[in-house]
Structure formats: structure tokens, C-alpha cells
């Protein structure tokens, strides 16, 4: 059972797995951070100039920006110039003791550096090789560069987020990088399971564009799921203009009656017995056809009460709801405080920093304190250490 203390820590679920991490910026480092949180030995391999994301501000010192610190905990660091013969030889030494190689380079770049799938897998057939390029190989865009903004535009995210003037907008978070990172972490885990059961390596391609397209179309393929089509793309419930935080008497509230019990309870509570007893409200299929109408009724009712009054009523009825919080509000959120979501650690070069712990809680395995993100070239003696270590 979980105790009250739930501090910043890694779990030994992946103890013994060695991951050679050639990723940069956000997508790849976000993925390998989770692998490190689960106890994998993650070695971050950087060029002499370092991961570019190190230099994104704010920062206390050069090359140790906040975003880098938040995406690279529980890793070691080694600097290699893969354009030089010495750097390539040292990489081969590391690969000899690794279970996974992961990168998010374009295929042509990986080929120039000698870390393309054929070169690596021919030399190290046991390796789980995972590549998270922008686009899948075999397509016309396979060699195009891609970052979060580009994929938000290409996949329909920016179009879905158009403003009142019809202008497409990016979501104010690097959603494609982070979802792509989760896909990459999942691929590595699947590869490790395959390796554990067969003793063989494999190649897994995790393209960002196709991953986000799949992510969005799980619901938004909608009527085009059927052949012939039963409608267009776009899930009506989430596209309704009335699906939004609702203005109350003194603020904004997110409210989502979802089940028949939720809707009947809500309409009964606000004195709309005509709707509470209506057949179309009580029938899930008919309710789905008229969901925009229901959301409009919600929007019209919410200004009649304050946030606190609504929260008490809705929670008494077990209807999902939440006040609208800012990012800054999360620092003082009561629930996050209860579960020790934030913690402070002393970084060896950056002093006292705040960190967000792993969202997971694991029982039944050993755990260790988190290691803060490493300074660049912290441990170039890793290669010799790997040579001495038992497999």
C-alpha cells in the first residue's frame, strides 16, 4: 500500500537495462527520462557543442536551462564527436554493453554518422534500435526536418485550434514532442520485452508525424471510419463551440456530465425536469446526436451560481468538474501537495531546484533517489566503466 511519503525517486523496474541515448531537444529526452525514472541506465551521448535544448532560457548557468533540467534527470552524460574516428570507436565501445540505442535524427544524418539501422544492427544484432524521425521512411517526406510546430501544422492540431477569426493556432504546449516521446518510450519498452523473451534485437521506427496523426484520428476519423463514409472527420462532441470552460457568477468552471445519471441529476438540480425526464436525454445514442444542444444549455445555466456553489452541487452529484487553474496555481494545488508532486533537490552545479516527480507510483520493487540532470560531459569515463561492468 502507498504510504504518505512519495518523494522524488526512480524505480528499479528496468534495472540492468542499458540505454544509449543519442536524442536531442525534447521528444527523445522526454522519452528516455521516463526510462530513467523506471531504473534503466540511460547514457546521454552529446556532441561537443551539447544538446541544443541546454541553451534555452531561463538558466542559472550556460548549458543548464530549465527545460533541459526537466527532461534529462536520471541519466549519465558523455560527450562524443561522432564525426571523428575516435568518437565513432568510443561509441562502439558503449554499444558493446548496451541493450538499446535510441535517436531522433533524420535518416540521412544517422547514415552520415554511421548510426543507421543497418550499420548498428549488423555489428550488434542484440540491440533494440529505436528511431523517432519526423516522418516514416518510404514516404516523400522521410528526409524533411520536423519539430513540434511543424507537426502541429501538418497533422491538424493547429487547424483544430483555430481562433474566433478562423486563424489556425498552435497549442501553447509542445504536445507533439511529448506525445511522440511517450510513443518512443513505449516502443523501447516493447523492444526490451521482445529482447528478454527471444534474446534478439529489433528495429522500431517511431515517426512523429504518423504517431500524432494516429493519436488525433483515434476519435476524429469519426464518420470516415466507415466505407462508404457515414459522415466527415471530426468528433462532434469535442468540436462543439459550447465545449469550453463555462462562465459562472464569479469565474470559470469545467463541467462534464457524461452518463445518463449525470445529465438527469444535473437537470433535476437546476429545476429542468422537462429535460431530466426527456427520452432523448436519457438515451445515450440520442444524447450523442444532440450533444451540442446540451452543452449550450449548460453554458446558459452556469452564470446563475458561483464557482463554490457549483462545485458543492456538482460534487455532491458526482458530476466531473474543476475550476480553471493557471500553471502557477499548480504550485499550490492541494491535491498535488497531498501526493508530494513537487520536490526540491540540490543540483551539483545549479544549486537548489524544484522538480516534478515521476507521475507513477510502484510497489514491490526497489527504489532510489532521483539523479538530477547531468552537466555536459559529466562522465567521459563511462566507457571504461562499461568495459569493466558485468553484463
The three-class DSSP label of residue 214 is helix
pLDDT attached to residue 245? 97
pLDDT attached to residue 9? 87
pLDDT attached to residue 379? 54
For the beta carbon of residue 42, count every other beta carbon within 10 angstroms. Answer: 29
The three-class DSSP label of residue 70 is helix
Contact 197, 137 (CB under 8 A): no
Q: Which of 107, 105, 90, 112 is nearest to 43 (CA)?
A: 90
> Per the structure block, which three cell numbers stand in for 313?
452541487
pLDDT attached to residue 376? 81
Instruction: Quote the CA–CA distance of 122 and 377 in Å, as a whole number.
Output: 29
Contact 109, 134 (CB under 8 A): no
Q: Please classify residue 386 by burial: count the beta carbons closer than 10 Å to its beta carbon, then call 0-12 exposed, 13-18 middle and 19+ buried.
A: buried
Q: Helix 148-155 vs helix 208-220: angle between axes, to the nearest 10 degrees?
A: 40
Instruction: Quote the CA–CA distance of 357 and 341 in Å, as a whole number.
Output: 6
Instruction: Quote the CA–CA distance of 121 and 129 in Å, as a whole number.
Output: 8
Contact 306, 248 (CB under 8 A): yes
Instruction: Quote the CA–CA distance of 155 and 215 in Å, as a whole number.
Output: 10
Contact 169, 163 (CB under 8 A): yes
Per-residue pLDDT of the chain (391 residues; tens, 9 = 90+): 454 455 788 999 999 999 999 999 999 999 999 999 999 999 999 999 999 999 999 999 999 999 999 999 999 999 999 999 999 999 999 999 999 999 999 999 999 999 999 999 999 999 999 999 999 999 999 999 999 999 999 999 999 999 999 999 999 999 999 999 999 999 999 999 999 999 999 999 999 999 999 999 999 999 999 999 999 999 999 999 999 999 999 999 999 999 999 999 999 999 999 999 999 999 999 999 999 999 999 999 999 999 999 999 999 999 999 999 999 999 999 999 999 999 998 999 999 999 999 999 999 999 999 999 999 865 556 555 555 554 4
Amino acid at each position: 500500500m502507498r504510504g504518505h511519503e512519495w518523494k522524488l525517486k526512480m524505480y528499479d523496474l528496468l534495472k540492468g537495462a542499458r540505454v544509449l541515448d543519442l536524442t536531442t531537444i525534447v521528444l527523445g529526452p522526454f522519452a528516455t527520462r521516463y526510462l530513467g525514472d523506471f531504473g534503466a541506465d540511460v547514457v546521454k551521448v552529446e556532441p561537443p557543442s551539447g544538446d541544443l535544448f541546454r541553451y534555452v532560457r531561463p538558466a542559472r548557468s550556460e548549458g543548464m536551462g530549465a527545460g533541459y533540467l526537466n527532461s534529462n534527470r536520471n541519466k549519465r552524460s558523455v560527450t562524443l564527436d561522432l564525426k571523428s574516428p575516435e568518437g565513432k570507436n568510443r561509441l562502439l565501445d558503449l554499444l558493446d554493453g548496451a541493450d538499446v540505442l535510441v535517436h531522433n535524427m533524420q535518416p540521412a544524418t544517422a547514415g552520415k554518422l554511421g548510426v543507421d539501422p543497418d550499420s548498428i544492427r549488423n555489428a550488434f544484432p542484440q540491440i533494440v534500435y529505436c528511431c523517432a524521425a519526423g516522418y516514416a521512411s518510404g514516404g516523400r517526406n522521410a528526409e524533411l526536418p520536423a519539430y513540434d510546430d511543424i507537426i502541429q501544422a501538418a497533422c491538424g492540431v493547429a487547424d483544430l485550434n483555430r481562433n474566433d477569426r478562423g486563424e489556425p493556432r498552435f497549442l501553447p504546449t509542445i504536445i507533439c514532442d511529448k506525445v511522440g516521446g511517450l510513443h518512443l518510450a513505449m516502443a523501447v519498452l516493447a523492444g526490451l520485452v521482445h529482447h528478454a523473451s527471444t534474446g534478439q534485437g529489433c528495429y522500431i521506427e517511431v515517426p512523429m508525424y504518423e504517431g500524432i496523426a494516429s493519436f488525433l484520428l483515434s476519435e476524429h476519423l469519426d464518420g470516415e471510419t466507415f466505407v462508404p463514409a457515414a459522415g466527415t472527420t471530426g468528433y462532434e462532441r469535442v468540436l462543439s463551440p459550447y465545449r469550453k470552460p463555462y462562465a459562472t457568477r464569479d469565474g470559470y468552471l469545467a463541467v462534464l456530465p457524461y452518463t445518463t445519471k449525470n445529465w438527469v441529476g444535473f437537470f433535476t438540480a437546476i429545476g429542468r425536469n422537462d429535460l431530466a425526464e426527456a427520452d432523448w436525454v436519457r438515451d445515450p445514442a440520442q444524447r450523442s446526436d444532440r450533444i451540442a444542444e446540451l452543452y449550450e444549455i449548460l453554458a446558459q445555466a452556469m452564470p446563475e451560481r458561483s464557482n463554490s456553489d457549483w462545485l458543492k452541487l456538482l460534487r455532491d452529484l458526482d458530476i466531473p468538474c474543476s475550476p480553471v487553474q493557471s500553471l502557477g496555481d499548480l504550485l499550490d494545488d492541494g491535491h498535488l501537495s497531498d501526493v508530494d508532486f513537487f520536490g526540491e533537490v540540490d543540483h551539483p552545479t545549479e544549486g537548489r531546484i524544484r522538480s516534478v516527480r515521476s507521475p507513477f507510483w510502484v510497489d514491490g520493487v526497489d527504489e532510489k533517489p532521483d539523479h538530477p540532470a547531468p552537466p555536459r560531459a559529466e562522465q567521459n569515463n563511462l566507457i571504461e566503466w562499461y568495459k569493466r561492468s558485468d553484463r
